Structure formats: C-alpha cells, structure tokens
Amino acid sequence: MKHGKKYVESAKLVDRTKFYETQEAFDLCIKTSKAKFDETVEVNVKLGVDGRHADQQVRGAIVLPNGTGKDVKVLVICKSEKEEIAKNAGADFVGADDMIAKIQQENWMDFDVLITTPDMMGMVGRLGRILGPRGLMPNPKAGTVTPDIEKAVKEAKAGKIEYRLDKTNIIHCPIGKASFGVEKLSENFDTLIGAIIKAKPAAAKGQYIRSCVISSTMGPGIKLNPLKVGATEQQ
C-alpha cells in the first residue's frame, strides 16, 4: 500500500518494534496527527477469546469522561407519550411509524445512534437488515433499548460509546480527538480498557489482552504493551 508524504513522515517517528507506555503513546499519536482536520484517535484491542461462542462474547457501552469530541445525532423511536421527553433530553429526531418508514423507503441514515423503548422493538426489528450491517441496530446491552429514554439520550450526547468484538476478535473504538491532549485521551482510554476488562468472559482462558494499538485517523499505529494495559484492573 502506498502512503502519502505526511504518513511517511509520521511513521518515521514510530518505532514499530517498541511497546510504548500509555502517556508516551498518546503524546506520539498527537504528534503524528498531521492532517488539516482534527483527527479521531482510535483504540484497537485484540482479545484472547473466540467470539464465535456465545459465552465468549465481549460487548457493552460506556460514557467516556471527556466525550468523543463528536456531535452525536440521536434518533429516538418511541410512542407519542415519550416523544416530548426525548426532545427535551436533546434528541435530534423523534418519531415512530414515520421514522421507520423514512428509513425503509428512503434509506435515510442521517443519525449516529438509534434509541428505542422495549415496546417498540417489534417494529424496529423490521429494520434489522438495514441497520445491522451499519452497527445502528439498538440493543439492550448497549443501553439503546430502554424505558429510560431521557437517560439514554443524555448519555449518547455526552459521549457514550459501544464496544464489541468484530469477526477477528478485535474491538475498535474511538476515544476522542487529537486536540484533546494526552491527559484527556488517557482518561478516556483507561475508562474503555477498564470496561473491557470487567467484561472478561468467565470462559476466556490465557492472556486476555493480546495486543493494543492506538492511532489517529491518518496516522500510523502505535503499540502498547498488552501485559501492562489495564494492569491495575486485571490484578
């Protein structure tokens, strides 16, 4: 793969054979963020589990202490009596049948999070084929299927993220913007890793965190020592 000039320059700053300490890694990640826009910082964690087995799934949601730096658009599908609650909590779009039809007929996807109530899942479930592949299908484990619409909307707006295994047993999560600085990114990182460790399945054997790499949108990967990542929580 051919990389651009800025990437090549940034890559020279990273020792690919080295495991970096958290603070040093984020400092380097910020230095290698050379795009003209405020790059997103992402964490990629490979776990020692087999996600093909139900008892080894790792999935959940957390509110990052410093948010994600992204203006999250929230859609709430609920019955009319809860629409005002959703709007007052900050939802960008609120509706029921009309929103479902808009997604089905217009392939409308101008939102980042879909929140719904348990009594609406029968209808929202029809959108599975459309929303599922895009990671937008609401789920109780992610807190997006809940009777407490107000709390769910406020958390989504505050920087709540969902973490889940992909087919290769890796969790990919954004934890903020390069402009956040080392301290805020480290706090968000520690919160995410702590949640992943607490979600460790009882069936998981051997080393749980196999590898951990951080990178900015356009920057190179920076490796952290998997044995030290979340060491306090793992003890």
Give pLDDT, residue 232: 47
Q: Binning pLDDT at 50, 70 and 90, where does residue 11 land?
A: confident
Supply the pTM of this predicted model.
Answer: 0.82
> Is the pLDDT assigned to residue 222 strictly greater than 80?
yes
CA-based radius of gyration for the chain: 19
96-119 pLDDT tens trace: 999 999 999 999 999 999 999 999
Strands (E), the chain: 40-47, 59-63, 74-77, 93-95, 113-116, 160-164, 170-177, 209-216, 222-224
169-213 pLDDT tens trace: 999 999 999 999 999 999 999 999 999 999 999 999 889 999 999
